[in-house]
Amino acid sequence: MRTIPSTKISETVRKMCIQAACELPRDVSDALEKAAAEEKSPVGRDIIERIRENVRLGREEQRPICQDTGVSVFFIQKGCDVGVDGGTLGNAINTGVKLGYEDGYLRKSVVRHPLDRVNTKTNTPAVIHFEEVEGDKLTICMMAKGAGCENMSRLRMLTPAQGEEGVKDFIVETVKKGWANPCPPVVVGVGIGGTFEVCALLAKKALLGDLGEKNPDPILARIEAELLERINNLGIGPQGLGGTVTALGVRILAHPCHIASLPVAVNMECHAHRHVKVTL
């Protein structure tokens, strides 16, 4: 069995947190470039240009592109033939987050209890999702998830009779309800199927897909294209001030579900869609 020292995992995560905060991934900056060319509103174009300038400065000066450096969300794929030496994987990740948010001068945005609301001052605990896969590799995906967009996310248990139309209407309605709050142009992550909790998790996981790539499921690819058009036709535009680019992309994942269920979850994401992936 291959083993990875926990200190190596912590150091990797430390760097990932800083990189995520300061360097917008290529797929998102490419989508913003396209948005700048397509936007019809002069105010909207100004906003997108300033966002792009902000992205450039964040990368060059290694400063966080958004002050909400988020909750640190991890999707881990752990090969069954690889282990961690010197503690649990969860502890190694949390140590890395603590170091990254301190060393990178990132904002610590996590409170220890949702009701007493005392800041933990470390940005931990991180949110970590584990999945076991074949092989001896450890893949770590990290998202710095801001709350402005997260707060505009919704889930609904539809009935099978409501079908595809019901799903699409709920997604469009969610974007409309959020309006300017999730910082448009947004990325829309959608989960369809599974159970209550699986559906929500799929919606978040869907956000990790490359915006430039087509969904391998032809049904979902068709729905994504159709939804993107409907969402941009709402006219919400950059920052909700009116325009033709409301979303940079829609990404959907689906999962088998009960004969009586049709869950749908929409996880809203801002244009500062910060995610990093590393394989050890």
Partner 1 sequence: MSNDMKKITTPLTSEVLEDLKIGDRVLISGVMYTSRDAAHKRMLDALDRGEDLPADLAGQIIYYVGPTPAKPGEVIGSAGPTTSYRMDPYAVRLMEIGLKGMIGKGARGPAVIEAMKKHGAVYFAAIGGAGVVIARSIKEAEVIAYDDLGPEAMRRIVVEEFPAVVANDVHGGNLYEVGYKEFRKD
Binding residues for partner 1, rule: CB under 8 A, are: 40-43, 46-47, 49-51, 53-54, 57-58, 61, 63-69, 105-109, 117, 119, 121, 148, 151, 179-181, 183, 233-237, 239-244, 270-272
Query: From residue 32, how far is each of 11, 72, 83, 179, 184 by CA, in Å?
Result: 31, 23, 39, 19, 11
User: What kind and span of H or E run contains 130?
Assistant: strand 127-133
Residue closer to partner 1 (CB basis): 83 or 242: 242
Burial class (CB within 10 angstroms; exposed 0-12, middle 13-18, buried 19+) of 162: middle
Distance, CA of 14 to CA of 99 (rounded, Å): 6
Minimum CB distance to partner 1 smaller for 249 or for 263: 249
Contact (Cβ atoms closer than 8 angstroms) between residue 272 and residue 54? no
Smallest gap, in angstroms, from Cβ of residue 26 to partner 1?
Answer: 17
Write down the least CB distance from residue 211 to partner 1, Å: 16
CB-wise, 202 or 247, nearer to partner 1? Answer: 247
Taking the C-alpha atoms of residue 260 and residue 257, their distance in angstroms, rounded to an integer, is: 8
Query: Least distance from C-beta 72 to partner 1, angstroms?
Result: 14
Residue of 181, 195, 182, 211 whose CA lies nearest to 264:
195
How far is 100 from 92, CA to CA, in rounded Å?
Answer: 12
As measured in angstroms, the least distance from the Cβ of 54 to partner 1 is 4
* In the complex, least distance from residue 169 CB atom to partner 1, rounded to whole angstroms: 15
Nearer to partner 1, 8 or 108 (CB): 108
- Smallest gap, in angstroms, from Cβ of residue 37 to partner 1? 16
- Token digits for 41? 């509103």
The Cα 173–Cα 170 span in angstroms is 5
Q: Which is nearer to partner 1, 198 or 272 (CB)?
A: 272
> By C-beta, is 11 or 38 nearer to partner 1?
38
